[in-house]
Amino acid sequence: MNTYQTYRGLPALAGLCGFEAALKPGLTVEECVRRLKRYHYACKRLHQIFTARITAEPIYELKNGFSLHAHLCAEHATALRRRVGEMREPPLGLEQVAEANLEIFFDEILGAPTTEELVVGLYEKAVPALQAALEQHVADTNPLADQPSVRLCRFALLELGDLRQFGAQAAAVLIDGAWRAAHADWLALLDDCLAAAGGLDGTRPVAAKPIRRRHSATPYRYDGHPRRDERFPDPYNMGVNAEVFLYDEQFPPRPKTLMMFYKRLREIDVPEMMASIITETTGKPWDYYRDMTRQLWDEARHAMMGEVGFVGLELDWRKVMVNFTWSLALNTQLKPLERHAVLYFIEQGLMPRNGKRFEWEVGVASGNPIAALFQDYDWADEVLHARIGRDWYLKQFDDPKQAVQYGDDCWSRVLIDWNKWRADGLTQHRNWWPEIYRAACQRWGTEPDPAVLAFHTTYEAVRADLKTISASA
Ligand SMILES: [Fe+2]
Ligand SMILES: [Fe+2]
């Protein structure tokens, strides 16, 4: 072997590794699959926790981070499932608990009662444990024989590094030393769970210390009540009907971009709502969860595009009242399938002329390149979402018309009690539009258009798809 040369010294073995590494015994297929199943379990549980905790987490930035990280974990879980399926492994057993103490480890994080515990559990315990396991796999396995697994590990490590960094930055501002001291016991419990599992990958000696559940002593219950941080001061405000303004031909494109940025930012309620469908729907094929989570992430991305739109104009988005009335109403009044029906029904309405193409045309006509760009991608994403709706919602019905009708019926049944909220003092439905429009005109260096300034249509009588709200709602 020492004298072996490749042709004119070209890279050996497709550039994967040298001969010494390729001659390493590495992991058997059996051991490789055993470990892959544990990584898969970790990705699935991380996906579950990130998703389940979006709705009731008040901090907007964490909602967005969780949305992305749920999507990434779902993608890596998908890749790992496929790889296990390539490894002479039927039955795959991918729906089973990988190991009892590992289950407690993730249950404890899922049931973390505060944002701080959740952040530390996810980003300082679970993610690093998975990183260490994947690094160990790359170090242990034969890089030639097990190249497909190595590739998955490397891709996953790339993104897990991003998660870790996000978590470190979040922990640095949310958590201090006193907090850590006060929560040392629980953090040690998480370490004990991993030790009792022989590490996340089960390659270390199993610690014999008995594990007692704390946050998961009573089973986790999903909280579908959306919460927001203090930058959302009026979450029941439905005082400005963005759709009526957007589709009114008398108004020019530029102020409409402002309303579109508002509409995008308000979409943070879609991850809040989709998280409830994904969390409360059991027994679907894995690809259902993966596709729905991709859409959930897209909707969070749309919200951030709205945020960027305001930042680009140096406007304070806290001055526009980003409400949670839609996610609140759907999560608390409808069953998961009914929520999906409403989502599908609304998205059907976005495909014709009066929808995403129109918004993109407004963006282009406005002369604001970022409004045009965001609507361009928003439209493309919506086409994907329509496909996801066809694959996972529509197929449950014999007749597509019936599926759409069911969505309309469910949406009509939702009680969004505009007047009662005002009577109960939850909101005054204050018209915030003139203030933000005036501020935008200052940025643009133009005088406010009196007709635009005078816009004051609320959601009292017209719901977001421009249907007149029935007397009951
Ligand atoms: Fe969207
Ligand atoms: Fe969408």
Q: What is the DSSP secondary-structure string of 241-278?
A: -HHHHHT-TTS-HHHHHHHHHHHHHHTTHHHHHHHHHH
SS3 350: coil
For residues 79 and 94, is the Cβ–Cβ distance under 8 A?
Answer: no
Q: Which ligand neighbours the alpha carbon of 302 most closely?
A: 1
Q: In angstroms, what is the span from residue 470 Cα to ligand 2's centroid? A: 25
pLDDT band per the 50, 70, 90 thresholds, residue 470: very low
Backbone phi, then psi, for 199, in 5-degree steps? 85, 165
Cα(175) to centroid of ligand 2, in Å? Answer: 34
- Report the separation in Å between the CA atom of 203 and the middle of ligand 2, taken as the mean of its atom positions: 43
| pLDDT at position 440 | 97
Compute the distance from residue 432 Cα to the ligand 1 centre, in Å: 23
Residue 365 Cα to ligand 1 midpoint, Å, equals 21
**Alpha carbon distances (Å) from 376 to 31, 90, 292, 348:** 47, 44, 21, 18
What's the alpha-carbon Rg for the chain, to the nearest Å?
25
**From the centroid of its chain, how far is CA 310?**
22
At 468 the pLDDT is: 59
| % the chain with pLDDT above 70 | 97
Cα of 271 to ligand 1 centre, how many Å? 10
Q: Per residue in 11-27, pLDDT tens?
A: 999 999 999 999 999 99
| Span 182-219, pLDDT tens digits | 999 999 999 999 999 999 999 999 988 899 999 999 99
pLDDT of 471: 34
| Ligand 1 geometric centre to CA of 326 (Å) | 14
- Exposed / middle / buried, residue 353 (Cβ in 10 Å: 0-12, 13-18, 19+): exposed
For ligand 2, the distance from its centroid to the CA atom of residue 339, given in whole angstroms, is 14
Report CA(382)–ligand 1 centroid distance (Å): 7
Q: 429 and 422 in contact (C-beta within 8 Å)?
A: yes
Ligand nearest to the CA of 344: 2
| Cβ 53 vs Cβ 216: under 8 Å | no
Give me ligand 1 centre to Cα 333, in Å: 22
Distance from C-alpha of 468 to C-alpha of 465, rounded to nearest angstrom? 9
Which ligand is nearest to the Cα of residue 359, counting in written order? 1
- 157 CA from centroid of ligand 2 (Å): 29
Query: Average pLDDT in the 72-93 region?
Result: 92
pLDDT at position 472 over 50: no
Place of tokens 């017209």: 462
Q: Tell me how far the alpha carbon of residue 298 lies from the centroid of ligand 1, in angstroms.
A: 7
Evaluated on CA atoms 456, 459, 465, 471, the torsion sign reads negative
Say whether 24 sits in a helix, a strand or coil.
coil
Tell me how far CA of residue 447 lies from CA of 312, 438, 439, in angstroms. Answer: 20, 8, 10
Q: In this model, does residue 469 exceed pLDDT 70?
A: no
Q: How confident is the model at residue 352 (pLDDT cuts 50, 70, 90)?
A: low
Distance from Cα 65 to the centre of ligand 1, integer Å: 17
Q: Which ligand is nearest to the CA of 384?
A: 2
pLDDT for 264: 97
% of the chain exceeding 90 in pLDDT: 90
pLDDT tens, residue by residue, 63-80? 999 999 999 999 999 999
Query: Taking a C-beta distance cutoff of 8 angstroms, is the pair 275, 39 a contact?
Result: no
The ligand placed nearest to the CA atom of residue 274 is 2
CA angle 193, 196, 202 (to 5 degrees): 105
Encode 171-193: b = buried (16+ Cβ within 10 Å), e = exposed: beeebeeeeeeebeebeebbebb
Q: Are 84 and 37 in contact (CB under 8 A)?
A: yes
What is the pLDDT confidence band of residue 93, given thresholds at 50, 70 and 90? Answer: confident
User: How far apart are the CA of 319 and the centre of ligand 2, in A?
Assistant: 25
Joined together, the tokens standing for residue 187 give 């953090």
Quick check: 321 and 234 in contact, CB under 8 A? yes
**215-224, 263-272, 394-403, 456-465: which range is least confident on average?**
456-465
Mean local confidence (pLDDT), 399-405: 94
Cβ–Cβ under 8 Å, residues 370 and 309: yes
Q: How far is the CA of 241 from the centre of ligand 1 (A)?
A: 17
**Mean pLDDT across 258-262:** 97
- What length does the chain have? 473
Across the range 149-165, mean pLDDT stands at 98
Q: Which residues surround ligand 1, an ion (CB under 5 A)?
A: 267, 299, 302
- Ligand 1 center–CA 267 separation, angstroms: 6
Those residues with Cβ within 8 angstroms of residue 348's Cβ, 6 or more apart along the chain or in another chain:
386, 389, 404, 407
**What's the CA-to-centroid distance between 374 and ligand 1, angstroms?**
11
Q: pLDDT tier at 473 (50, 70, 90 boundaries)?
A: very low
| Whether the predicted pLDDT of 348 surpasses 90 | no
- Ligand 2 mean position to 324 CA, how many Å? 17
| Residue ranges of domains in the chain, CATH in brackets | 17-196 (1.20.1260.10), 242-453 (1.20.1260)
The string of pLDDT tens digits covering residues 106-155 is: 999 999 999 999 999 999 999 999 999 999 999 999 999 999 999 999 99
Please state, rounded to an integer, the average pLDDT across all residues of the chain.
95
Region 437-456 average pLDDT: 97
Task: Give the model's pLDDT for residue 92.
Answer: 82
Please state, in angstroms and rounded to a whole number, the distance separating the CA atoms of residues 435 and 446: 14
302 CA to centre of ligand 2 in angstroms:
9
Amino acid sitting at position 58 = P
Q: How far is the CA of 299 from the centre of ligand 1 (A)?
A: 4
Say what the pLDDT of residue 466 is: 63
Ligand with minimal distance to 383 CA = 2
- Closest to 316 measured CA to CA, from 402, 429, 435, 192: 435
CB 270 within 8 A of CB 327: yes
Is residue 462 scored above 80 in pLDDT?
A: no
Å from CA of 378 to ligand 1 middle: 6
Summarised one tens digit per residue, pLDDT across range 327-343 is 999 999 999 999 999 99
At residue 217, the pLDDT reads 98
| Position 88 confidence tier, pLDDT thresholds 50, 70, 90 | confident
CA 51 / ligand 2 centre spacing (Å):
17
> Half-sphere exposure (CA, 13 Å, Cβ side) for 331?
26
Q: Looking at the CA of 351, which ligand is closest?
A: 2
Ligand nearest to the CA of 387: 2
